[in-house]
Amino acid sequence: MKFFYALSLLACLFFCSYAQEIPRSTQYIFNNILLNPALSGIDNYTDLKIGLRKQWSGLEGAPSTQYLSLSTAIGEDFVRSNVNSFAGNGDNPMSRSFVNSYTAAEPHHGIGLVAMTDKAGLVRQTNVNLTYAYHLGITNEVNLSVGLSGGFKSISVDVRGIIADESGDPLFSADYNNKIRPDIGAGIWLYSPRFFAGVSAKQLVGNKSSIVNNQVKTSPYQAATFYGTAGYKIFLDEDIAMIPSGLISYWTNSPATFDANLKFAYQDKFWVGTSFRNNDSFSLLAGLNIASLVNLSYSYDVNTSGLRSVNNGTHEIVLGILLNNRYQVVCPSRQF
């Protein structure tokens, strides 16, 4: 229990300086709208994903994250034609023939919703953002989209659960932490049937004012976060593709991290993969597509840091549902 209280106190101290960073997802590469609003409306159906992540299982007070994302294309081009310029039914995005016949998406708009709640010890963070993107074909095969997100972040600390000798310390006042604050983000996404690349930023606004020595001082209550990601499809066979990808994450108040991913996909049926995050973890991933309605994926992370000795790994499962899937798409092309 002493470790639990120490973990909770550490979380509170972190909140009082900058607030909690955006919760991680091992499976971000298959749901990049979590990091980049420019992914809104990239598919020719309504994409719904529900995820559950249990970090450091077996450790009391360890982070637990639930998230939901929803994305759809809108506008006349979506109503009257296929925004991604392929029929879907019978066209396997993992095949060479699909790549050779692909044409860039017609200009269209996309909207989305990302909602996430994360609890670590006595600290709970909830993020809700609406997203918007505009997609434009800039060559016969390459598309560019730009996106914005806006919403709020709610942070709460259950200070009643902290046991300390100095209970009168200002640290244990929840007035600052238990508030709702605005959250703004932006992103750019470049994509084709062979590659994707994007940059984005989240938590771009947020200052608090305080009086120090009879002077008003302004400081950030949350750290801006920046992301850069890219991936490329390499065909090993007509129906087997290997997709290496990477992600660089940077928080203005902490060192950058790097994720390296490698995925092997067979047709539009199933895939397996692996991921490595520097100074943190190694992961195994797998997923399958069920008809043209459901896709399911699972990942297991093993810590490579000192935390490995006090937890049983991290589990994450994501359920995807393809709504209004009039082209009977089975394997989302944007997931490679």
C-alpha pair distances (Å), 98 with each of 64, 106, 141, 234? 39, 17, 12, 13
pLDDT digits (tens, 9 = 90+) for 27-73: 888 889 999 999 999 888 899 999 999 988 878 778 899 999 999 99
Distance (Å, rounded) from C-alpha 78 to C-alpha 73? 6
**Does 188 score more than 70 pLDDT?**
yes
pLDDT digits (tens, 9 = 90+) for 1-20: 444 444 444 444 444 434 45
C-alpha pair distances (Å), 141 with each of 88, 173, 320? 16, 55, 27
pLDDT at 40: 95
pLDDT at 13: 40
The listed range with the strongest mean pLDDT (151-165, 202-216, 249-263) is: 249-263
Give the mean model confidence (pLDDT) for residues 240-256: 88
pLDDT at 269: 85
Mean pLDDT over the full length of the chain: 80
Q: Model pTM?
A: 0.82
pLDDT digits (tens, 9 = 90+) for 99-135: 777 777 788 899 999 999 998 887 888 999 999 999 9
C-alpha pair distances (Å), 60 with each of 6, 31, 66, 302? 11, 28, 18, 17
Class of domain 21-323: mainly beta
Quote the longest CA-to-CA distance of the chain: 71
Q: Quick one: which of 121, 101, 11, 114 has its CA closest to 56?
A: 121
16-30, 184-198, 203-217, 280-294: segment of lowest average pLDDT? 203-217
Give, rounded to a whole angstrom, the gap between the first and last alpha carbons of the chain.
45
Contact 285, 273 (CB under 8 A): yes
Domains of the chain by residue range:
21-323
Burial label for 25, CB within 10 Å (0-12, 13-18, 19+), is: buried
pLDDT band at 198 (very low <50, low <70, confident <90, very high): very high
pLDDT at 327: 73
pLDDT band at 262 (very low <50, low <70, confident <90, very high): very high
pLDDT top residue among 206 and 184: 184
